Amino acid sequence: MSDRVFLTFKEAVRHGLGDIEGLDAIDLGSGSGGKTRALASLGAVATGLEPQQSAVDQARERGGGPAYVMGSADAAPFGDAEFDLAVFTYSLHHCPDPVAALREAVRVVRPGGRIAVFEPEADDPIYPVAKLIDDEKMVYDLAQSAIAQVSNEAGLDRADPVRYATRYRVSTAEALIEGMVSVNPNRKRPDALTFKTLFDAALERDEDGVFIPCWERLDVLRKAA
């Protein structure tokens, strides 16, 4: 059990970014749009950018306000300085070139605007379980190095990261395997008994049921005005 505070995505946005009402926001790597809709529900004028057509289709079907555009963050199909806020919601470590993706975020944000990077952190309770399917520690570290590199080269003002935890609600080991394997065809199914033993050890419970704690960090970078 860690002493990290549990925050929902919206609480983390409020904590790290304050009031985002009326801001033009681009969600780079929006998937099926869950976080893009959350940004819109907090008052942002939100757009999602996502390279997978099936995810864009799902996001559009779910509606909720945001517009969605197909494309890759490292060649963002937007003009310079179109947004007040660019966010990566657990997508930067998926980008094949995170430095190029961050440079694009800097380009599309207005002077004085912000880039918010939500990323998982390894060494949390879900890590020993998840790494049996896909050990992502190296790509998490690459994403953090990219943040440091682009902050320095672009002269961004970098706030202390917000470090918190979320509750990943999954009731069975099999459901976690299905969830992880279905999003990436390169992922292999692990040995079921080893996986279940580690899964059971990581589970916690609250009034709403069982969950596995996941550690997250939010880095907020501000472009000079």
Ligand X SMILES: C[S@@+](CC[C@H](N)C(=O)[O-])C[C@H]1O[C@@H](n2cnc3c(N)ncnc32)[C@H](O)[C@@H]1O
Contacting residues for 24 by C-beta, under 8 A, at least 6 apart = 44, 45, 47, 82, 83, 84, 85
Closer residue to ligand X (CB): 54 or 155:
54
The verdict on 72 binding ligand X (CB under 6 A) reads: yes
Tell me how many residues contact ligand X (CB under 6 A).
19
Q: Determine, following the binding rule CB under 6 A, whether residue 216 of this chain makes contact with ligand X.
A: no
The residue at minimum Cβ distance from ligand X is: 31
- Window 23-42: residues binding ligand X (CB under 6 A): 28-31, 34-35
Beta pairing, strands 209-222 & 157-158: antiparallel
DSSP code of residue 188: P
Complex with ligand X: residue 16 or 31, whichever CB lies closer: 31
Largest Cα–Cα distance of the chain, in whole Å? 55
Using CA atoms, how far residue 62 sits from 36, 42, 67, 212, in Å, is 11, 17, 11, 27
| Nearest alpha-carbon partner for 84 in 37, 43, 145, 34 | 43
The contact pattern for ligand X, residues 49-68, with x = CB under 6 A and - = no contact, is -xxx--x-------------
Pattern 78-117, ligand X, x by CB under 6 A: -----------xxx--xxx---------------------
Least Å distance, CB 93 to ligand X, is 8
